[in-house]
C-alpha cells in the first residue's frame, strides 16, 4: 500500500516537475516572442547564417520593442540589437543583401529599428544606416502621380504591402530628424492616399463579393497582365496586403503630427476601412478569408497572419481613439477573431515553445494575380511573418 502511495506521489511530483519545466508564459505575446527567440528567428541572419535584411525581421523587432517597453525584459532589447548588428557594419553601412538601386520597399521595414537603436544608444552607425535607407527615396522611381514603385522590376506598380514596408520608416525618420519637413509629411500622406484611391473596390464585379476594401495593388500604366482596364487595379482583395495597410495606418497615425493635415486624411481612411473590415468577417468563425472577395470558394481558407494583422489594427484603432466603438462591435469582433486564432492556429510544442500555423506562403503580384495564384497550401510551422503578426495582435489584445 505504502509502496503504491509512494509511487503515486512520485508520479504526481514528476508530472508537476515536467509541466512546470515546460510551462508556457501566461501571455501569448511573450510566448510568441520567446518562441521566435528560442528558434533564432528574426535575428538578421538567414537559414545559412548569412546576414539578411528582411521585412519579417523588422516586423518581429517592432513587436519585441513593444514588449520590451511593456515588460522591461532586456532580452528583447538585446535580441533586437543583435539582429541589427548582424546587418549593419561598424561604419554604418547596411549589408544583408540591401541595395538602394533595386528600389525595393520591403527591406526598409527594418529601418524603424535602426532609428530606435540610435535613439537608445546614440551610436552614429545606426543613424548612418537609417540615412542610407532614407537616401533611397530621392532616387526611387515613382508613378506620374508620385507613388513609389513597389520595386524597380515592377514599374509603375503600387502595392499595399509597400506602405507598411516603406512609409512607417519614412514617417519615423521624419519625426526624428526633420519634424517640420512638411514636404516629407505631404509625401507620406500622398503614398497612403494614392494607394487608397487607386485600389478601392468601388463597385460590385461579377463573381466577387462587394466589400468596399482595397485590391492588392495597381499598375498605373495598366500594362501588366493583371491590371484592370479601367483603373489598373489587381483582381482580388488579399487579406495580407490589406492587413499591412491597416497596420500601417494605425502605426503611422501615432507618428504623423496631429497638426499636419495628413493626420486627418489618414484618420478618414481608417474610419472608412474599419467598419468594412469588421463587415467582411466570416459570421461563424469571426475571422477572414485569404481572398476576401471570394468567401467560401473551393480552395479559399481562413488565413492566420492577415487575421492577426486585422486584430492588431482594430484593437489599436479603438484603444488609441482613432475610431469610436460606441456599441462595442469593433472590439467584440476583434476579440472573437482572436479567440478563434488561439483555439485553431497556436500549436503548443510541449517544450515551452509555441508555433503558429495557417499562414499563406507567398503572395506577390509578380504573377497573373488570379484567384488560383493566391490559394494554395499554407505554411505549416516555423513561419516568422505569421508569428510576428500574432505577437503584435496579442500585445494589443492583452491591453484591451
Ligand X SMILES: *[C@@H]1O[C@H](CO)[C@@H](O)[C@H](O)[C@H]1NC(C)=O
Residues that bind ligand X (CB under 6 A): 34, 37, 73, 75, 119, 122, 137, 176, 178, 181, 183-184, 187, 190, 193-194, 197
Say what the alpha-carbon torsion angle 247, 253, 255, 259 is, to the nearest 10 degrees.
170
Distance of CA 226 to the CA centre of its chain: 24
Shortest separation between residue 202's beta carbon and ligand X, angstroms: 10
- Using alpha carbons, select from 42, 66, 79 the residue that is nearest to residue 395: 66
Q: Decide whether 33 or 334 has the Cβ nearer to ligand X.
A: 33
Taking the CA atoms of the chain, what radius of gyration do you get in angstroms? 22
Query: What is the CB-side half-sphere exposure of residue 89 using CA atoms within 13 A?
Result: 8
Nearer to ligand X, 265 or 331 (CB): 265
Cell 540589437 maps to which residue?
81
Smallest distance, ligand X to C-beta of residue 185, A: 8
Smallest gap from Cβ 138 to ligand X, in A, equals: 6
CB closer to ligand X, 37 vs 250: 37
User: What is the β-pairing status of strands 346-348 and 217-219?
Assistant: unpaired
Residues 363 and 49: beta-carbon distance below 8 Å: no
Beta bridge partners of 347: 355
Nearest distance, CB of residue 398 and ligand X, angstroms: 15
Residue number with CB closer to ligand X (154 or 170):
170
Bridge partners (DSSP) of residue 159 are 217
Residue closer to ligand X by CB (options 74, 329) is: 74
Phi-psi region of 72 (alpha: psi -120 to 50; beta: other; left: phi over 0): left
Residue among 176 and 267 whose Cβ is closer to ligand X: 176
Coil, strand or helix: which one is 53?
A: coil
Residue 78 or 380: which CB sits closer to ligand X?
78
Of the two residues 194 and 389, which places its CB atom closer to ligand X in the complex?
194
Question: Cα(275)–Cα(281) distance, rounded to whole angstroms?
Answer: 10
Smallest gap from residue 353 Cβ to ligand X (A) = 11
**Which three three-digit cell numbers place residue 146?**
508620385
Least separation in angstroms between residue 361's CB and ligand X is 27
What is the nearest approach in angstroms of ligand X to the Cβ of residue 380? 24
Residue among 75 and 339 whose Cβ is closer to ligand X: 75
**Shortest reach from residue 244's CB to ligand X, in Å:** 19
Give the C-alpha distances (Å, rounded to integers) separating 136 from 74, 170, 182: 32, 10, 19
| Minimum distance from residue 9 beta carbon to ligand X (Å) | 30
Quickly list H helices, 283-328. 304-320
Are 63 and 100 in contact, with CB atoms under 8 Å apart?
Answer: no
Q: What is the dihedral of CA 278, 33, 344, 247, to 10 degrees?
A: 20
Amino acid at each position: 500500500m505504502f509502496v503504491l502511495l509512494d509511487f503515486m506521489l512520485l508520479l504526481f511530483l514528476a508530472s508537476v516537475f515536467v509541466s512546470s519545466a515546460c510551462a508556457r508564459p501566461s501571455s501569448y505575446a511573450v510566448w510568441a516572442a520567446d518562441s521566435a527567440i528560442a528558434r533564432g528567428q528574426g535575428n538578421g541572419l538567414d537559414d545559412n547564417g548569412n546576414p539578411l535584411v528582411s521585412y519579417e525581421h523588422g516586423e518581429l523587432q517592432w513587436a519585441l520593442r513593444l514588449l520590451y517597453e511593456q515588460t522591461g525584459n532586456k532580452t528583447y532589447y538585446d535580441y533586437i540589437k543583435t539582429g541589427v548588428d548582424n546587418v549593419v557594419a561598424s561604419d554604418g553601412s547596411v549589408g544583408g543583401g540591401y541595395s538602394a538601386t533595386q528600389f525595393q520597399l520591403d527591406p526598409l521595414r527594418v529601418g524603424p529599428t535602426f532609428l530606435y537603436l540610435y535613439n537608445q544608444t546614440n551610436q552614429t552607425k545606426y543613424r548612418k544606416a537609417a540615412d542610407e535607407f532614407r537616401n533611397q527615396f530621392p532616387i526611387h522611381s515613382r508613378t506620374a502621380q508620385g507613388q513609389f514603385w513597389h520595386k524597380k522590376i515592377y514599374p509603375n506598380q503600387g502595392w499595399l504591402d509597400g506602405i507598411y514596408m516603406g512609409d512607417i520608416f519614412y514617417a519615423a525618420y521624419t519625426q526624428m530628424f526633420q519634424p517640420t519637413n512638411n514636404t516629407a509629411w505631404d509625401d507620406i500622406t500622398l503614398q497612403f492616399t494614392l494607394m487608397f484611391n487607386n485600389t478601392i473596390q468601388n463597385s460590385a464585379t461579377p463573381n466577387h463579393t462587394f466589400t468596399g476594401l482595397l485590391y492588392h495593388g495597381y499598375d498605373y500604366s495598366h500594362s501588366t497582365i493583371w491590371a484592370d482596364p479601367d483603373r489598373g487595379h489587381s483582381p482580388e482583395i488579399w487579406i495580407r496586403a490589406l492587413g499591412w495597410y491597416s497596420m500601417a495606418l494605425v502605426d503611422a497615425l501615432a507618428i504623423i503630427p496631429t497638426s499636419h493635415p495628413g493626420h486627418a486624411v489618414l484618420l478618414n481612411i481608417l474610419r472608412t476601412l474599419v467598419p468594412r473590415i469588421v463587415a467582411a468577417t466570416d459570421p461563424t468563425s469571426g475571422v477572414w478569408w485569404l481572398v476576401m472577395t471570394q468567401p467560401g470558394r473551393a480552395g479559399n481558407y481562413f488565413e492566420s497572419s492577415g487575421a492577426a494583422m486585422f486584430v492588431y489594427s482594430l484593437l489599436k484603432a479603438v484603444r488609441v481613439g482613432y475610431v469610436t466603438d460606441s456599441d462595442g462591435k469593433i472590439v467584440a469582433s476583434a476579440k472573437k477573431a482572436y479567440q478563434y486564432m488561439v483555439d485553431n492556429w497556436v500549436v503548443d510544442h510541449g517544450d515551452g515553445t509555441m508555433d503558429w500555423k495557417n499562414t499563406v506562403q507567398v503572395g506577390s503580384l509578380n504573377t497573373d494575380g488570379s484567384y488560383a495564384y493566391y490559394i494554395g497550401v499554407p505554411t505549416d510551422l516555423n513561419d516568422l511573418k505569421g508569428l510576428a503578426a500574432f505577437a503584435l495582435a496579442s500585445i494589443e489584445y492583452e491591453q484591451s
